[in-house]
Structure formats: structure tokens, C-alpha cells
Amino acid sequence: MKEQIDILLQMGAASMDKKIYAILLALLAAVLYTVNIPVSKILLNEVEPIYMASLLYFGAGIGMAVLSFVGHGEKAPSLTKAELPYTVGMIVLDVIAPICLMIGLRYATSANVSLLNNFEIVATSMIAFVVFKESVSVLMWVAIVLITVSSILLSFDGIESFDFSYGSVFVIIACICWGLENNCTRKLSSKSAAQIVILKGLFSGLGSFIVATLIKEQKPLLKYVMVALLLGFVSYGLSIYFYVHAQKYLGASKTSAYYSVNPFVGSLLSFVILQEALSSTYCIALMIMFLGAGFAVLDTLQIKHSHQHEHIIVHTHDGSTHTHKIVHNHSHKHFFGKEHHHFHI
């Protein structure tokens, strides 16, 4: 199976524009992740939150390790000592984030948690801008403001009472951790995606398992362990694997923008599977969040195109002819990859 996945990825990169290919991978990663929230909400009735976080990442790591063993592996460089700080940061943040998410999911509705996951766009973009000096466009700033406003609304149980939702706070903390982790992973995206998922899964799962053991959470039954491991492989393992591939071509903030479809699909699944009621606060936040995600996606369609132009200048000096070649660059921003032509005389 691992071999087939790698072959499909290589065929996809070779047969279509790399940007479109990366967008499709980011969307696929998002769809796979959407299953996580409603199913985890159900499993939390039987599994303690930190054990749940541990099992999800163990499922991702073990599943990808098995696929790598039976397949022929990726043709990508392995991680080296130079990437150690980013690797350690990635693992530590992946211990904290899922724990916070599972605690938040226990005390907030599945639909609210799904929608709040979009705050990861804000965290990823701001950290990419402040720490890693990635540029943030006007469109992305508008998206950041709208998503932040929506997240603030979702942090309260209702407009009428304005009761603060502590579950939402834990979800926002998880998003901040994942925002920083996305930027760490971006630094590793040229390396083996499978190796990154295995390291994330096994070491982050182990970290959460140690925490759960130390605070003496009740151990889950084997049947729930198996379901959680399978969920982790699909929603975390394969999702992260495709996400890392997408980052190679899109960067951290743009991959996050396309990944933003997952909260809306996750919310839909929450209503279908869990039959959660729609609150007025949620409906308002949904509209604002949708606008914010729209601006974020629109930003990714703003393509910067650069190309060289060559000018030949011929002139006569002291009876002899001289030819000079001048090469310079032009950069243009345009939308949706439309072709355009320039004529120089």
C-alpha cells in the first residue's frame, strides 16, 4: 500500500502543475482529518483525553512505519542533525496540542471545536510572519482578522449569557501549538514525509502516554484502543503525510489555508453523526469564519510570476560594431494562473 501511495504521489506531481497538485494534497489531508473530531467525541465517553491523544499519534506512527516497511520507501533525504531543533520542537508541540484538543473536545461541542480548528490558520500565518519572516498579504491579514473574530465568538457558550467556554480555550491553545508546529514541519518538508510522520506519531504518542500514566488516567479497553489507533492512522497519519507533501510546494501559511476546509466538513459531520443543535452564536461565527477562510484561500490563488527578459543593444563606435546583452527580471502578481504576454522592442 505504501508503494502504491508513493507511486500515485509521484505520478500526480509529474502529470499536473505542482501548485494544483499540492492544493489537492492539502484538501485530501483536510478531508481525512475531518473524521477525527466527531469520532473522537464519541470515543471520549470511553477513553480518557490524554490516553486518547496518545493513541491517535501512536496509530499514525505505527501505521506509517508498517507501510514504510512493506513498501520501498520514499526517494527523499532523511532527517539529519541540522534539523534536530525543528524535529524536537515538532514532537514536543505534538504532545501538547492533541492533549489540549481532547480536553477541549470533552467540554465543548464537536461542531464548535471543528470550526475553532481554523484558528490554526491565524497561528500558522502569524508565527510564519513574525518568527520565520514569511510575507503575509493584505488578503491574509483580512482572513486573520475575520477568523480571530469568529474564534472569539466561539469561545462563549451564547451571545445572550456570554458564559466563557473553557473547552474552547483549550482548543485555541492546541491551534497555537499546531501553528508553531506547522512552521517547524515546514523546515523539514524537503525530507522524507513518512519519516516525519513516524517520528511525530511514535514520540508524541509516547510523550502523551507518559503524561497519562503519571496523572493515573484510567486505561481504556482493548476494543477502544484498536478503534483509536485506526482513527489515528487515517486522520493523523495519512493526513499529515499528504500535508507535508503539500507544504513542499505551497509553504506553511498557504497549505494551512487550503487545509481550512476541514472545520466546515467536520462541523457538518458533527451535526449528522452527533445531531448537535445549532446555536445563534455558532451560526454567526460560521458565516464570519467562512468569509475568513475564503480570503485565506483567495490569497493562495494570488500567484507571483517572475521571468527574465533579454535585450540586445547594437551600436557602432570608432568604426566597429559592438553588441551588448542586458538581462533583467519582471515580477507580476495575477490570479488563477492566467497566461499573459509581453512584447519588448
Q: Which amino acid is at 298?
A: L
316: pLDDT strictly greater than 60? no
Please state the three-class secondary structure of the chain as a single string: CHHHHHHHHHHHHHHCCHHHHHHHHHHHHHHHHHCHHHHHHHHCCCCCHHHHHHHHHHHHHHHHHHHHHHCCCCCCCCCCHHHHHHHHHHHHHHHHHHHHHHHHHHHCCHHHHHHHCCHHHHHHHHHHHHCCCCCCCHHHHHHHHHHHHHHHHHCECCCCCCCECHHHHHHHHHHHHHHHHHHHHHCCCCCCHHHHHHHHHHHHHHHHHHHHHHCCCCCCCHHHHHHHHHHHHHHHHHHHHHHHHHHHHHCHHHHHHHHCHHHHHHHHHHHHHHCCCCCHHHHHHHHHHHHHHHHHHHHHCEEEEEEEEEEEEEEEECCEEEEEEEEEEEEEEEECCCCCCCCCC
User: What is residue 134's predicted lDDT score, i.e. its pLDDT?
Assistant: 79
Residue identified by cell 505551497 is: 250
Handedness of CA 152, 157, 163, 167 (dihedral sign): negative
User: What is residue 331's predicted lDDT score, i.e. its pLDDT?
Assistant: 45
| pLDDT digits 0-9 by tens, 172-188 | 999 999 999 888 887 78
Residue 221 binned pLDDT confidence (cut-offs 50, 70, 90)? very high
Share of the chain above pLDDT 70, in %: 77
Distance CA 173, CA 152 (A): 13
The larger pLDDT score, comparing residue 103 to residue 313, is at 103
Average pLDDT over residues 285-313: 69
| pLDDT digits 0-9 by tens, 106-153 | 888 888 888 888 888 888 888 888 887 778 888 889 988 999 998 888
Work out the angle at residue 190's Cα, subtended by the Cα atoms of residues 184 and 192, and round it to the nearest 5 degrees. Answer: 95
Residue 158 binned pLDDT confidence (cut-offs 50, 70, 90)? low
Share of the chain above pLDDT 90, in %: 26
Distance CA 58, CA 48 (A): 15
User: What is residue 78's predicted lDDT score, i.e. its pLDDT?
Assistant: 73
User: What is residue 306's predicted lDDT score, i.e. its pLDDT?
Assistant: 43
Average pLDDT over residues 62-73: 77
Residue 77 binned pLDDT confidence (cut-offs 50, 70, 90)? confident
Distance CA 194, CA 75 (A): 11
| pLDDT digits 0-9 by tens, 243-297 | 878 877 777 667 767 777 777 888 888 888 888 777 788 888 889 988 988 888 7
Q: Where are the domains of the chain?
A: 2-300, 305-335
User: What is residue 76's predicted lDDT score, i.e. its pLDDT?
Assistant: 67
Q: What's the whole-number average pLDDT of the chain?
A: 79
228: pLDDT strictly greater than 90? yes
| pLDDT digits 0-9 by tens, 184-220 | 887 786 777 788 889 889 999 999 999 999 999 999 9
Residue identified by cell 512552521 is: 183
